[in-house]
Amino acid sequence: MKQKIRIGCGAGFSGDRIEPAVILAEKGELDYLVLECLAERTIALAQKRKMANPDKGYDPYLERRIEVLLPHLVKNKVRLITNMGAANPVMAAKKVKVLAEKNGFDIKVAAVFGDDVLTYQNLPIEAFEIFNGENQAFELIKEKNNDTLISANAYIGVDGIIEALDSDAQIIITGRVADPSLFLAPMICEFGWSKDDYELLGKGTVIGHLMECAGHITGGYFADPVKKPVQDMIKLGHPYVDVFSDGSGIISKVEGTGGVINLMTAKEQLLYEVVNPNEYFTPDVVADFTTVKLEEIAENQVKVTGGGGKTKPENYKVSVGYKAFFLGEGEISYAGPSAFERAKLAGETIEKRVSSQFDDFRIDYIGINSVFGDKENPVIPNEVRLRIAGKAKDIDTASLIGEEVEALYTNGPAGGGGVRKYANEVIGIMSVLVKRNLILPQVKIF
Amino acid sequence: MKLYEIAHSRAGDKGNVSTLSLIPFQETDYELLKNKVTVDLVKKHFGNIIKGEIVRYEMPNISSLLFVCQEALDTGVTTSLRMDTHGKALSYKLLEMEI
């Protein structure tokens, strides 16, 4: 058993930059590289692509990312763990295997799957429970075959990844897995932690959570030139962590990269998207963040100790993707004298022309009230951008908003310019719970 | 003064819930934040934006507060009609609060 492993995180969402991951693979002296690329809705959109073409449904950047990383992973013996499989991890693994062979690399690639709840035949409705009052998700699952339901993926934990790590696969591609589990799995394997040592699993989960958003902890999405300046954002590096067998860790980044790791960046990330710091639920453990200790031990080095956990949940959380509505949007700018008055006249005109056809209709004046809402005596800027949005039952109705905004060119107030219009189907996400013993993570090696 | 002068924040989202951290630049200001930034004042400050209950968690281990706000994102991240569907900018709304 090892006493220390080094894990890098080279992506914190599906659209993340690729260069920092390459720097980590090349110069990070890593044992593992994690790429976390699945937000809540990403997998539902991927499922839609898979329905259109069964060969697709994995991360659109998969080949691009793997191709540039492969030579470094092989040369430096770094194992890659990623959820870029999205709705189709098996096909993603096959593609990566072919890509590796084409480039002359003889490596094994593992797919971890079994998270897709809709692939299980005959799951009784009793296997499901309503999550957080979201009845509609439960109803969608109950009716299963209706046209509205697109995807249902359980957040599975470390199990499948551990099985893949126990093989000699160098690249491990999963579908929906809880983000911290991508980091916790190699810790369990390398340190021989027991899967019911919840204290250690909690500590490992804290570290996984700190790492999972990549640039978040190195000063990305942190910088504020007035109060929180960050050096050399252009070359923002992504983090790696040295994890020790006692569950403590030291988070750092490759020398020469930009950004900063300090107490401030670590605290912001520790609390990010946490709805209860006493009980942070993952499939592996209910972790406790209230005992975590953070310490700056050197420049760009934060030591993480403490944290813990008790038990693991009896259910998996399932993200349910469904066809929600059609979104129509239109925008136009007004500037100079009476900019706000003209924008208001335009907004009110369109409201009277079409709003009755929409289930929900909204007018924003960008620069005045579009983000924080209405304010008493707002400061009126020299430029105001009108934005109109509505929810419709079909794409033609949704398109009306953009068409009406464009028609302001000849049927609205003076001096409006820069029209943009959009109409799209919106996929919504809700959650439901499923009994974990009915969901079986599987592994296939290529 | 505005909270912005002495603290920083990041917003997170889960469904229709917004999580807002409040972290003092100086750890010695933690007690001040604990005393001044109450749930009632935060609720009032956000007005119509946050429609549900707000729970405040105290985190003395990292000298920080966490506000977990229900019904804060219109109908939720994926279906909101707002410009900022995630409520990413709400961290700076919190920092605008006067104490």
Per-residue pLDDT reduced to its tens digit, A151-174: 999 999 999 999 999 999 999 999
| C-alpha A175: how far from chain center | 12
Cβ distance A79 to A33 under 8 Å?
yes
> What string of H, E and C letters represents the secondary structure of A134-183?
CHHHHHHHHHCCCCCEEEEEECECCHHHHHHHHCCCCEEEECCECHHHHH
Give me the number of domains chain B comprises: 1
Cα separation, A331 vs A419, in Å, equals 5
**Number of Cβ atoms within 10 Å of the Cβ of B87:** 26
Over range A226-249, report the average pLDDT: 97
Range scoring the smallest mean pLDDT among A77-86, A115-124, A291-300, A356-365? A115-124
Average pLDDT rounded to a whole number, residues A133-146: 88
Domains parsed from chain A with CATH numbers:
4-115+155-313 (no CATH), 323-427 (3.30.70)
All residues of chain B having their beta carbon less than 8 Å from the beta carbon of residue A372 are: 49, 89, 93, 96
Q: Which of A41, A370, A373 sits opposite B78 (nearest CB)?
A: A41
The whole-number average pLDDT for the span A200-218 is: 98
Run of H or E including A291: strand A286-298
Return the higher-pLDDT residue of A39 and A363.
Answer: A363
Compute CA distances B31 → A262, A284, B8, B61, B63, whole Å.
22, 34, 15, 13, 8
* Residue A40 pLDDT level (bands cut at 50, 70, 90): confident
Query: Which residues 273-302 on chain A approach chain B with CB closer than 8 angstroms?
Result: 273-278, 289-294
Mean pLDDT of chain B: 97
Nearest to A371 by CA among B73, B63, B15: B73
Q: Does B6 touch chain A (CB under 8 A)?
A: no
Contact status, residue A435 vs residue A141, Cβ threshold 8 Å: no
pLDDT tens digits for range B16-58:
999 999 999 999 999 999 999 999 999 999 999 999 999 999 9
Q: Residue type at A282?
A: T
Residue B70's CATH number: 3.30.70
Give the number of C-alpha atoms closer than 13 A to the C-alpha of residue A375, restricted to the C-beta side.
15
User: For residue B98, what are the β-bridge partners?
Assistant: B2
Residue with tokens 């060119």: A409
Give the CA angle between residues B96, B98, B99 to the nearest 5°.
Answer: 135
Quickly state the pLDDT bin for A428 (edges 50, 70, 90): very high
- Under an 8 A CB cutoff, do B19 and A271 touch? yes
Under 8 Å between Cβ of A31 and A5: yes
Burial code (b: 16+ CB inside 10 Å, e: under 16) for A99-135 equals bbeeeebebbbbbbbbbbbbeeeebeeebbeebbebe
Q: How far is B52 from chain A (nearest CA, A)?
A: 14
Per-residue confidence (pLDDT) for residue A144, from 0 to 100 = 78
Is residue A414 less than 8 Å (CB to CB) from chain B?
A: no
Q: Given A267, A370, A430, which is nearest B23 (Cβ)?
A: A267
Contact B87, B13 (CB under 8 A): yes
A219, A220, A226, A231 alpha-carbon torsion, rounded to 10°: 60
Residues in chain A closer than 8 A to B21 (CB atoms): 267-268, 271-272
State the residue range of the domain holding B59: 3-95
Among A363, A361, A371, A367, residue whose Cα is nearest residue A340:
A367
CA distance linking residue A36 with residue A14, whole number of Å: 7
pLDDT interval class at A278 (50, 70, 90)? very high
Q: Which of A 208-247 lie inside 8 A of B, CB atoms?
A: 221-222, 224, 227-228
CB contact under 8 A, B12 and A294: no
A130 vs A122: CA distance, rounded Å: 19
Strands A171-174 and A79-82: parallel
d(CA B50, CA B43): 7
| pLDDT recorded at residue A145 | 67
DSSP letter for each residue of A6-75: EEEEEESSTT--SHHHHHHHHHS--SEEEE----TTHHHHHHHHHHH-TT--S-TTHHHHHHHHHHHHHH
A61-109 confidence digits (pLDDT tens): 999 999 999 999 999 999 999 999 999 999 999 999 999 999 999 999 9
Residues of chain A with pLDDT > 90, as a percent, come to 95
For residue B8, give the nearest of A41, A264, A426 by CB distance.
A264
Could you tell me the two tokens for A259? 């950004």
Say whether A227 and B8 touch across the interface (CB within 8 A): yes
Distance from C-alpha of A302 to C-alpha of A289, rounded to nearest angstrom: 16
Q: Phi, psi (5° rounding) for residue A422?
A: -140, 145
Poorest-pLDDT segment among A130-134, A180-184, A413-417, B38-42: A130-134
Q: Which of A134, A293, A391 sits opposite B61 (nearest CB)?
A: A293
Q: Is B18 on the interface with A (CB under 8 A)?
A: no
User: Is B13 part of the contact surface with chain A (CB cutoff 8 Å)?
Assistant: yes
| Nearest-CB residue to B81 (from A271, A294, A360) | A360
Suggest the residue from A212, A217, A360, A371 to mutate for an interface test with chain B (most B CBs closer than 10 A): A371
* Residue A399: closest CA among A384, A410, A388: A388
CA angle A350, A370, A342 (to 5 degrees): 45
**How much is the average pLDDT of A216-220?**
98
The two beta strands, A360-366 and A128-130, are unpaired
> What is the token pair recorded at A92?
């993603």
Q: Which residues contact A115 (CB under 8 A, 6 or more apart)?
A: A153, A154, A155, A156, A174, A175, A176, A177, A439, A441
Cβ distance A316 to A306 under 8 Å?
A: no
Interface contact B53, partner A, CB < 8 A = no
pLDDT, tens digit, for every residue of A311-324?
Answer: 999 999 999 999 99
Residue A321 is which amino acid? Answer: G
User: What confidence category does residue A376 fall into, taking pLDDT thresholds of 50, 70 and 90?
Assistant: confident
Q: What value does the mean pLDDT of chain A take?
A: 97
